[in-house]
Amino acid sequence: MAAMAQPSRYYVVFLTTSYRSLAEAQVDAGELIAAHVARSKELHKGGTLLMAGAFLDRPEEPLSTMAVLTSREACEEFLKGDPFVQNGKVASWTIREWANLFA
């Protein structure tokens, strides 16, 4: 019987913003979005941010986002430098360790 390989471990940051919707954030914080996207692209290019985006399927809830990173330290750095966090536009956040079954 073959031994099961250990799944790859990633870390996911979940953020809840102070905005009611993406549209509200776009109107109120266009500059923050631009800075957030530019920084996210740099982190992705550097290999620590694997994917990120906003959840759009629950319009009755505040705008929430997530980012998948390679380490807990990368998550902490992501949060520390995020324009929304720095400007008090994130109501709450959490980091969770995630095991990828397929990698």
pLDDT above 60 for 4? no
CA atoms within 13 A on the CB side of 33: 15
Domain 15-100: give its CATH superfamily: Dimeric alpha+beta barrel (3.30.70.1060)
Average pLDDT of the segment spanning 70-97: 97
Which residue ranges make up each domain of the chain? 15-100
pLDDT in tens, 17-69: 999 999 999 999 999 999 999 999 999 999 999 999 999 899 899 999 999 99
Provide DSSP, 22-56: HHHHHHH-HHHHHHHHHHHHHHHHTTSEEEEEEE-
Average pLDDT of the segment spanning 66-92: 97
Using 50, 70 and 90 to split pLDDT, how confident is the model at 101? confident
Nearest to 53 by CA among 17, 28, 81, 18: 17
Amino acid 102: pLDDT: 81
